[in-house]
Amino acid sequence: MKLRYLTAGESHGPALTAIVEGMPANLEISEDDINGHLARRQQGHGRGGRMKIETDRVRFLSGVRWGKTLGSPITLSIENRDWANWDKKMSPLASDRVEGIAVTHPRPGHADLSGVIKYRQDDARNILERSSARETAARVAVGALCRKFLADLGIEVFGYVVELGGITAGDDGQDFRDRFSRAEESPCRTFDPVAEQAMIKRIDEAKAAGDTLGGVVEVVVLGAPVGLGSYVHWDRRLDGRLAQAVMSIQAFKGVEIGLGFEAARLPGSRVHDEIGYEKGGFLRRSNRAGGLEGGMTNGEAIVIRGAMKPIPTLYQPLQTVDLATKEAFAATVERSDVCAVPAAAVVAEAVVAIELAEAVLEKFGGDAMEEVQENLAAYLRHVHGF
Ligand SMILES: Cc1cc2nc3c(=O)[nH]c(=O)nc-3n(C[C@H](O)[C@H](O)[C@H](O)COP(=O)(O)O)c2cc1C
Ligand SMILES: C=C(O[C@@H]1CC(C(=O)O)=C[C@@H](OP(=O)(O)O)[C@H]1O)C(=O)O
């Protein structure tokens, strides 16, 4: 069974759409299961004016009946409320064309310049509408569906902010669930209240200076069984697939699993996780590998981090060049976030959940949830007796 999905939609078009194919029948799901995560993605200190306009809500257009999936493609739709202000400017009709609104001063750090050259456009709006991270609302909707699928199999996924604008959350020694429940209450989606205050201040300072900030998010998966993914071929390695998923989030420039780059600086004796056997099961004395060895889950918590660069649109714009005249100009200022790292933690959860759901279906796939659950239970009996 292959789980696959597509998203479509421009930032100021009428709606975002996602089609998910390969989700088994009989998964209990409601629009509210998804709306909660859409709301989480809209939050966070440092978000711009757009989030005051939108109240993201999903509609199922196919694949769900009376609270359960049918096994057929699931279509998820999220309306763009802002479209009401853009209907002519984003109209598909040639006769609606509005003159004098082209975006011609490409923003350093965004897709604008490479996009206009590649797609032969003279208006960077034709690039920025789709390159916008508005698209992440659709991925969070798909991710919420996958999270529900995983939760029904005893697998949990959550994320939080570990660094923002150079301020690091202190290692509190708390367990992951504890961190998560604190982060859920935090405007910076971090578990460390001291760091949170400093982060808020730094975002406010950046805003006042017309500048922007990035940061680092961490996603944790609990309950994943040993043996998802495989070492037998490069594109089946789950570490690589998770890294690609996280790196594909707009503005993400680095991914680490477990110790990540730190592992390169330490001797093997301080990197690898010793193996033990207790109460009829294998276990690890530490989890520096972040739950992945040989491209497979090893039964420990999966821990993956992603680094987000600062938002490209600056209210004190950087220098650029006009697309037509080639004269020097300040870059276009689109209404923009100052910092979206807390929102990006929710997006990172979603893309990890999607990848995990895919790996689970590859190993335990069935046409109905009951079949997947039976396959997983049989495998877990094998694991526990090994
Ligand atoms: C949740 C989220 C919100 C974002 N908001 C903005 C924004 O308001 N303004 C902006 O210029 N970039 C924003 N970005 C980043 C750009 O979409 C991204 O930098 C751009 O698409 C170029 O891709 P790249 O940075 O991966 O090269 C946001 C990214 C995320 C994940
Ligand atoms: C709309 C969202 O984020 C947007 C991401 C984004 C970008 O360039 O990535 C630019 C801004 O869009 P707008 O031009 O409408 O203000 C953000 O608000 C969202 O997260 O839902």
Distance CA 373, CA 355 (A): 18
Counting from 1 in the atom list of ligand 2, the atom nearest the Cα of 251 is: 9
Tell me how far the alpha carbon of residue 29 lies from the centroid of ligand 1, in angstroms.
30
Tell me how far the alpha carbon of residue 38 lies from the centroid of ligand 2, in angstroms.
14
Burial 87-97 (b: 16+ CB within 10 A, else e): eeebeeeeeee
121 known ligand binder = no
What DSSP designation does 180 have?
H
pLDDT digits (tens, 9 = 90+) for 247-263: 999 999 999 999 999 99
Reduced to 3 states (helix: H, G, I; strand: E, B; else coil), residue 67 is coil
Whole-angstrom Cα Rg for the chain: 22
Give me the pLDDT at residue 255, please: 98
Q: Classify residue 329 by burial, with Cβ atoms within 10 Å: 0-12, 13-18, 19+.
A: middle
Give me the pLDDT at residue 289, please: 98
Q: Is the CB of 347 under 6 A from ligand 2?
A: no
Distance CA 214, CA 243 (A): 18
Give me the pLDDT at residue 39, please: 97
Q: Which residues of the chain have pLDDT under 50?
A: none
Distance CA 290, CA 90 (A): 44
Interface TM-score (ipTM) > 0.95: yes
* Pocket around ligand 1 at a 6 A CB cut-off: 48, 109-111, 131-133, 136, 249-251, 309, 311-313, 336-337, 340, 343-344, 347
Q: Classify residue 274 by burial, with Cβ atoms within 10 Å: 0-12, 13-18, 19+.
A: exposed
Residue of 11, 82, 125 to test ligand 2 pocket, by largest number of atoms within 8 Å of CB? 11
Closest CA to 6 of 334, 362, 354: 354
What DSSP designation does 172 have?
-
Counting from 1 in the atom list of ligand 2, the atom nearest the Cα of 340 is: 20
Give me the pLDDT at residue 294, please: 98
CATH (domain of 176)? 3.60.150.10
Token pair, residue 179, equals 């961190």
130 known ligand binder = yes
Q: Classify residue 328 by burial, with Cβ atoms within 10 Å: 0-12, 13-18, 19+.
A: exposed
Give me the pLDDT at residue 271, please: 98
312 known ligand binder = yes
Give me the pLDDT at residue 174, please: 78
Tell me how far the alpha carbon of residue 245 lies from the centroid of ligand 1, in angstroms.
16
310 known ligand binder = yes
Give me the pLDDT at residue 337, please: 96
Domain count within the chain: 1
Give me the pLDDT at residue 14, please: 97
What is the pTM (predicted TM-score) of this model?
A: 0.98
317 known ligand binder = no
Take atom 25 of ligand 1 and give the residue whose Cα is closest: 251
Domain that holds residue 208: 4-385
Q: Is the CB of 297 under 6 A from ligand 2?
A: no
311 known ligand binder = yes
250 known ligand binder = yes
Give me the pLDDT at residue 385, please: 84
pLDDT digits (tens, 9 = 90+) for 89-101: 999 999 999 999 9
Distance CA 106, CA 330 (A): 9
Tell me how far the alpha carbon of residue 317 lies from the centroid of ligand 2, in angstroms.
17
Residue of 110, 211, 252 to test ligand 1 pocket, by largest number of atoms within 8 Å of CB? 110
Q: Is the CB of 133 under 6 A from ligand 2?
A: yes
